[in-house]
C-alpha cells in the first residue's frame, strides 16, 4: 500500500517509488507536515520538529503555559488565517458573525484505492492499479467549517496530487475570501525558485531566482492562466542542474486566475501556498454547501531538473490528457492564417490544400474569418454561421473538395467571446461580462461572454454541436483572445460577484467536458492568443495547445525550452511559418524552421504557392522525417542539452523508453568563424550499448560547412556518447541546424 497509517505515532506516510511524504496528527489534533523528499522508511520524522519557544510566536490555548508549540513556526498541512500562524494562509474565511479564521483540527481520515474525482474541475485520472487516495478531514469547532484534504498517490509515477473540499457544516453562512488548493511547508533546505514569466508572443521564459525572507508571488489576475506567469513553480537547491540536485514542482490543474505564494519565514523555512487567486475572489457557502479547490500536481526528485520534467511529461500524457488523440499519430496540418489572414475565398483555400496535399500534408485548418460578417477582427464573434460570400457553395462543398484531395478538414473558433458588432450581442447584451453603468474595457475590440450562465453554455453547445454534427470537421482550434476585465455577472446578486471569475472557469470546463465527450473523434487544440492558457487544466480536454503566436523559429527555441520544464512535446502546437516572420521580420532557413517545429505537434502556416520547387521537395522530406520519427519525437524522454544564452547553439534530445533510439536536434543561434564545432554530450542512453549514427540531416548550411560524421558507418558506445560526447560539424550560415539519429546495434 502506498499510504501507511501508524496509529502509535499517529503519522500518515505517502510512499511513491522514489519519494516519501509524511504528516503527523499531534496530541492537539493539529495536522502537522513532517517531510517531503527522497524516499525513506515510514518511521516518524517528528524528531525533526523540536519543541521551541520562539519570541512573539503565539501558542494554542492548550499550550499557553508550556509555550513550546506555535503554529507560526510549525509546518502545516493546510494553513488558515487568524489562528496564530502569521505566514501566508491557504484558507481565509469569515462567518456570519464577522469572525475571521478557522482553528482546523483533525477529525478523521480514510484511505481508499483508486483516484478521487473533483466536482466540475479537471483532475488527473487513475484506477486502483495506478493510484490510492488519502482523505483527511479537518474541522473548526466554532464555525463548523470542514476542510477535506485530498491526496492522490501515484506510486509508480512519483507524483502526489492535492486538492481540498471546504464544507460549511455549521448553521450560518460562511464567506471564503481565499480557498487555496494546498499548503506545503519545507522547514529545511536552501532553495531557489524557478518560474516561467513572459508576455504575448514570448511565453514561458524560464527565470531562476534566490528566495528572500518574506513573500514572493507568481500568478495571474487576468481570468486565464496567462501568457505572463504560467501556473508552474519549481523549488530547487542551489546546486541543482539538469542531472543532479533536489527539485520540487508545484503545478496547479487550473486555467483561470491563479496564485502561488512562496514565503521564507523567520526561521528560514519555506512555505508554498497555491491555488485560485484571491484577487476579486470570494465564495459564499450556505449551511451544507461545499466549495472544491482545484487540484495541484506535486513531484520531487533528487536527480535534477531534467528528471523532474520527464516525471511531469509522463504523468500528463498518462493521467491528465483524456483525449484518444493522446495515443494516436496526429495529422500534419497546414493553417491558412499566415498565408491569407482574412483575405480568402474557397478558391484560395483549395489552392493551398492542393499544393499542401502534394507535399504530404494531411489536414487543412481554416482559421479566423469564415463566419458572419467577419472581414476583420472588429466584428461578428458569436455569429457562427458560414460567410457565403467567402465560401461559395457553403462549408460542405469546401470540405468535400478538401477531402477529395486526401486532406482532413479543421476549423478555428473563439466561442467564449462576442463582438459588439454581432447579431449575438445585439440579441443578448446581458450575456457579456460588463459592469452596469460603466463603459467596458475592450480587448481586441471584443467582450467576454459570461460562461457562468447556463443559457450561454447551452447556446454555445447547441451551436458547436450542430456545426460538428452537420459538417465533416475533424479538428477544432479553440481560441480565447483577450484578458478578462469588467467581471460582473448579471445572474449573481451583489454579495456574490466575487464568484463570477471562478464560475466562468467552471462553465468553460463544463462546456468542454460536454463537447469533448460528445465528439471524441475530433482533434481539439487549445489556444489563447497563442500560449495564454497553456496549463494542465486545459490539457485535460485539449491534447495539444498552440504554444505561442510567435512562430519565429529562433524565438520559439526559448519558448519551447521553458515550456518543456513542465509540459511534454506532444502538447505543444508548433508550425513551420512564413518568412520573413510576421512577428519579428526575421528570416530563418526553411529546414531550421522544421527542426524547431518537430519538437512540437508539427505543421505549416504559410502559402505553398510561394515556395520554390526545391523548397516543396524539402517539405516532403521534412514530413517524411517527422512521420518516421513520430513516436520518438512525441513520446520519447526529453533532455535539454544546452541553456539559452550560455552557448552559441540550442540543442535537445529525445530518447525512446527502451533506450534503443535517440534523436539529437541542434540550431546554431550565433555563427562564429574559426571554430572546432560543437561538442555535445548525450543523455539517457545505455552506457553498455553501442549506437550507430543512422541519419544526419544538415539544414540551412553554407558551402563552408564541414562534416566528418558518416551516417550508416559511425558506431559509438553509449558511454562515449554520454561522457566524451560527439563533435558536430562546423556549421556556417544564417541559423543552420542539424538532426542526428542514433539506433542501438
pLDDT in tens, 486-503: 999 999 999 999 999 999
Domain assignment of residue 279, yes or no: yes
Contacts of 328 (CB under 8 A, 6+ apart): none
Q: What is the residue-averaged pLDDT of the chain?
A: 96
Residue 247 within any structural domain of the chain: yes
Write the CA distances from 684 to 141, 303, 567, 655, integer angstroms: 53, 13, 19, 7
pLDDT over 70 at 741, yes or no: yes
Cell numbers representing residue 553 in the block? 523559429
Q: How far apart are CA 361 and CA 594, in angstroms?
A: 13
Question: Using one digit for the tens of pLDDT, what is the confidence trace for 158-210?
Answer: 999 999 999 999 999 999 999 999 999 999 999 999 999 999 999 999 999 99
Least reliable range by pLDDT among 474-478, 500-504, 540-544, 712-716: 712-716
* Per-residue pLDDT tens over the stretch 621-631: 999 999 999 99
Q: Are strands 3-6 and 19-25 parallel, antiparallel or unpaired?
A: unpaired
pLDDT computed for residue 511 by the predictor: 98
Per-residue confidence (pLDDT) for residue 708, from 0 to 100? 80
Q: What is the pLDDT of residue 704?
A: 65
303, 320, 337 — which closes off a domain? Answer: 320
The active-site residue, picked from 265, 535, 552, 661, is 535
- Specify the range with the lowest mean pLDDT, choosing from 48-52, 110-114, 270-274: 48-52
Show which of 320, 335, 351 is a domain's final residue. 320
Task: Look at residue 135 and tell me if it is in a domain.
Answer: yes
Report the interhelical angle of 346-359 vs 613-628 (nearest 10°). 60
Q: Active site residue: 615, 686, 694, 734, which one?
A: 615
The span from the CA of 26 to the CA of 42, in Å, is 17
Q: What angle do CA 49, 50, 54 make, to 5 degrees?
A: 110
- At residue 647, the pLDDT reads 77
Least Cα distance to 346 among 363, 368, 377, 370 occurs for 370
- Burial string for 220-249 (b: 16+ CB within 10 Å, else e) reads bbbbbbbbbbbbbbbbbeeebebebbbbbb
Q: Which of 302, 284, 274, 297 is nearest to 218 (CA)?
A: 274
Q: What CA–CA distance (Å, rounded) separates 189 from 236?
A: 9
Active site (annotated) includes residue 9: no
User: Is 229 a domain residue?
Assistant: yes
Rounded to whole angstroms, how far apart are CA atoms 581 and 576?
10
What does the pLDDT look like over 219-246, one tens digit per residue? 999 999 999 999 999 999 999 999 999 9
Sign of CA dihedral 119, 125, 128, 130: negative
Percent above pLDDT 70 for the chain:
100
pLDDT at residue 645 in the model: 80
In a domain, 670, yes or no: yes
Question: CA–CA distance from 116 to each of 77, 127, 295, 312, 541 (Å)?
Answer: 19, 10, 11, 19, 18
CA-wise closest residue to 724 among 666, 677, 661, 682: 682
> φ and ψ at 619, to 5 degrees?
-60, -45
Tell me what pLDDT residue 496 has.
Answer: 97
pLDDT at 251 over 70: yes
- Residue 680 within a domain: yes
Residues 331-343: what's their mean pLDDT? 97
User: Under DSSP, is residue 609 helix (H, G, I), strand (E, B) or coil?
Assistant: helix
For the beta carbon of residue 437, count every other beta carbon within 10 angstroms: 5
Q: In total, how many domains does the chain have?
A: 2
3-state DSSP assignment of residue 114: coil
Identify the burial level of 163 via C-beta atoms within 10 angstroms of its C-beta, where 0-12 means exposed, 13-18 middle and 19 or more buried: buried
pLDDT above 90 covers a percentage of the chain that reads 94
Q: Domain containing 699 — which CATH number?
A: 2.60.40.1180
CA dihedral 512, 515, 520, 522 (to 10 degrees): -90
pLDDT digit string, tens, across residues 438-448? 999 999 999 99
pLDDT one-digit tens code per residue, 559-611: 999 999 999 999 999 999 999 999 999 999 999 999 999 999 999 999 999 99
Using the 3D structure, point to which of 320, 349, 382 is the last residue of a domain: 320
ω before 565 within 30° of 0 (cis)? Answer: no
Phi and psi for 263 in degrees, rounded to 5?
-125, 130
Confidence tier at 703 by pLDDT (50, 70, 90): low
Residue 437 C-beta-side C-alpha neighbours within 13 Å: 0
Q: Where residue 22 sits, what CATH number does that domain have?
A: 2.70.98.60
What DSSP designation does 673 have?
S
Residue 250 lies in a domain: yes
* Nearest Cα residue to 540 out of 522, 559, 519, 526: 526
CA distance 605 to 575: 6
Residues 6+ apart with CB under 8 A from 303: 243, 244, 245
**How do residues 136-152 score in pLDDT, each as one tens digit?**
999 999 999 999 999 99
H and E: helices and strands count for the chain: 13, 39
> Is 16 a domain residue?
yes
- Highest average pLDDT, of 93-97, 424-428, 642-646, comes from 424-428
Q: What are 707-723's pLDDT values in tens digits? A: 788 999 999 999 999 99
Chain CA centroid to CA 3, Å:
28
Q: What grid cell was written down for 566?
A: 513542465
Q: Tell me, what's the pLDDT at 264?
A: 98
- Its domain, for residue 229, covers 3-320
Angle made by CA atoms 588, 593, 595, in degrees to the nearest 5: 135
Say what the pLDDT of residue 730 is.
Answer: 79
Q: Do 407 and 361 meet the contact criterion of CB atoms below 8 Å apart?
A: yes
What pTM does this model have?
A: 0.97
State the Cα angle at 192 between 190 and 197, rounded to 5°.
Answer: 165
Is residue 140 part of the annotated active site? The answer reads: no
Amino acid at each position: 500500500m502506498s499510504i501507511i497509517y501508524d496509529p502509535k505515532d499517529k503519522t500518515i506516510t505517502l510512499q511513491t517509488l522514489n519519494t516519501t511524504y509524511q504528516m503527523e496528527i499531534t496530541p492537539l489534533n493539529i495536522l502537522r507536515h513532517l517531510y517531503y523528499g527522497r524516499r525513506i522508511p515510514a518511521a516518524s520524522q517528528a524528531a525533526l520538529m523540536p519543541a521551541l519557544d520562539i519570541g512573539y510566536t503565539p501558542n494554542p490555548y492548550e499550550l499557553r503555559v508550556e509555550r513550546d508549540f506555535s503554529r507560526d513556526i510549525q509546518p502545516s498541512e493546510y494553513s488558515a488565517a487568524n489562528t496564530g500562524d502569521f505566514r501566508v494562509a491557504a484558507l481565509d474565511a469569515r462567518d456570519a458573525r464577522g469572525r475571521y479564521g478557522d482553528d482546523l483540527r483533525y477529525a478523521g481520515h480514510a484511505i481508499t484505492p483508486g483516484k478521487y474525482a473533483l466536482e466540475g474541475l479537471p483532475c488527473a485520472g487513475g484506477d486502483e492499479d495506478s493510484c490510492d487516495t488519502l482523505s483527511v478531514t479537518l474541522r473548526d469547532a466554532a464555525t463548523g467549517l470542514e476542510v477535506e484534504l485530498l491526496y492522490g498517490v501515484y506510486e509508480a509515477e512519483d507524483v502526489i496530487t492535492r486538492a481540498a473540499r471546504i464544507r460549511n457544516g455549521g448553521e450560518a453562512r460562511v464567506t471564503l475570501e481565499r480557498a487555496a488548493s494546498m499548503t506545503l511547508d519545507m522547514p529545511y533546505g536552501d532553495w531557489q525558485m524557478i518560474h516561467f514569466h513572459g508576455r504575448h508572443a514570448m511565453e514561458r521564459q524560464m527565470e531562476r531566482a534566490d528566495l528572500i525572507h518574506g513573500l514572493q508571488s507568481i500568478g495571474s489576475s487576468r481570468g486565464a492562466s496567462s501568457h505572463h506567469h504560467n501556473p508552474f513553480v519549481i523549488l530547487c537547491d542551489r546546486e541543482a542542474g539538469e542531472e543532479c540536485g533536489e527539485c520540487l514542482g508545484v503545478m496547479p490543474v487550473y486555467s483561470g486566475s491563479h496564485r502561488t505564494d512562496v514565503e521564507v519565514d523567520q526561521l528560514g523555512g519555506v512555505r508554498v501556498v497555491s491555488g485560485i487567486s484571491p484577487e476579486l475572489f470570494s465564495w459564499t457557502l450556505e449551511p451544507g454547501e461545499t466549495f472544491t479547490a482545484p487540484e495541484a500536481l506535486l513531484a520531487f526528485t533528487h536527480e535534477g531538473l531534467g528528471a523532474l520534467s520527464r516525471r511531469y511529461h509522463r504523468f500528463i500524457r498518462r493521467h491528465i490528457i483524456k483525449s484518444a488523440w493522446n495515443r494516436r499519430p496526429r495529422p500534419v496540418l497546414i493553417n491558412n492564417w499566415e498565408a491569407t489572414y482574412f483575405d480568402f475565398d474557397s478558391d484560395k483555400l483549395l489552392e493551398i490544400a492542393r499544393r499542401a496535399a502534394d507535399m504530404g500534408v494531411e489536414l487543412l485548418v481554416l482559421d479566423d474569418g469564415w463566419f458572419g460578417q467577419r472581414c476583420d477582427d472588429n466584428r461578428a464573434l458569436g455569429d457562427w454561421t458560414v460567410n457565403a460570400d467567402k465560401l461559395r457553395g457553403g462549408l460542405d462543398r469546401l470540405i468535400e473538395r478538401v477531402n477529395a484531395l486526401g486532406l482532413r478538414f479543421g476549423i478555428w473558433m473563439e466561442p467564449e467571446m462576442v463582438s459588439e458588432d454581432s447579431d449575438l450581442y445585439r440579441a443578448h447584451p446581458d450575456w457579456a461580462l460588463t459592469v452596469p453603468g460603466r463603459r467596458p474595457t475592450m480587448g481586441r475590440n471584443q467582450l467576454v461572454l459570461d460562461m457562468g450562465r447556463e443559457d450561454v453554455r447551452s447556446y454555445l453547445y447547441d451551436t458547436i454541436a450542430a456545426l460538428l454534427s452537420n459538417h465533416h470537421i475533424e479538428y477544432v482550434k479553440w481560441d480565447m483572445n483577450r484578458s478578462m476585465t469588467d467581471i460582473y455577472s448579471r445572474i449573481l446578486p451583489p454579495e456574490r460577484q466575487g464568484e463570477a471569475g471562478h464560475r466562468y472557469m467552471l462553465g468553460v470546463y463544463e462546456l468542454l467536458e460536454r463537447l469533448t465527450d460528445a465528439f471524441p473523434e475530433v482533434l481539439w487544440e487549445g489556444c489563447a492568443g497563442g500560449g495564454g492558457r497553456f496549463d494542465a487544466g486545459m490539457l485535460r480536454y485539449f491534447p495539444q495547445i498552440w504554444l505561442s503566436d510567435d512562430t519565429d523559429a529562433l524565438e520559439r527555441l526559448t519558448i519551447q525550452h521553458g515550456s518543456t520544464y513542465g509540459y511534454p512535446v506532444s502538447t505543444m502546437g508548433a508550425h513551420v511559418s512564413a518568412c520573413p516572420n510576421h512577428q519579428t521580420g526575421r528570416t530563418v532557413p526553411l529546414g531550421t524552421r522544421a527542426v524547431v517545429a518537430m519538437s512540437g505537434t508539427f505543421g505549416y502556416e504559410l502559402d505553398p504557392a510561394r515556395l520554390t520547387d526545391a523548397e516543396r521537395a524539402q517539405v516532403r522530406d521534412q514530413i517524411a522525417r517527422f512521420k518516421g520519427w513520430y513516436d520518438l519525437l512525441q513520446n520519447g524522454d526529453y533532455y535539454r542539452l544546452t541553456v539559452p544564452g550560455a552557448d552559441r547553439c540550442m540543442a535537445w534530445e529525445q530518447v525512446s523508453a527502451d533506450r534503443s533510439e535517440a534523436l539529437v536536434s541542434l540550431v546554431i543561434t550565433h555563427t562564429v568563424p574559426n571554430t572546432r564545432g560543437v561538442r555535445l554530450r548525450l543523455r539517457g542512453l545505455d552506457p553498455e550499448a553501442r549506437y550507430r549514427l543512422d541519419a544526419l540531416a544538415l539544414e540551412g548550411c553554407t558551402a563552408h560547412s564541414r562534416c566528418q560524421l558518416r551516417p550508416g558507418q559511425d558506431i559509438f558506445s553509449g558511454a562515449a556518447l554520454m561522457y566524451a560526447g560527439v563533435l558536430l560539424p562546423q556549421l556556417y550560415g544564417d541559423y543552420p541546424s542539424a538532426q542526428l539519429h542514433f539506433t542501438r546495434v
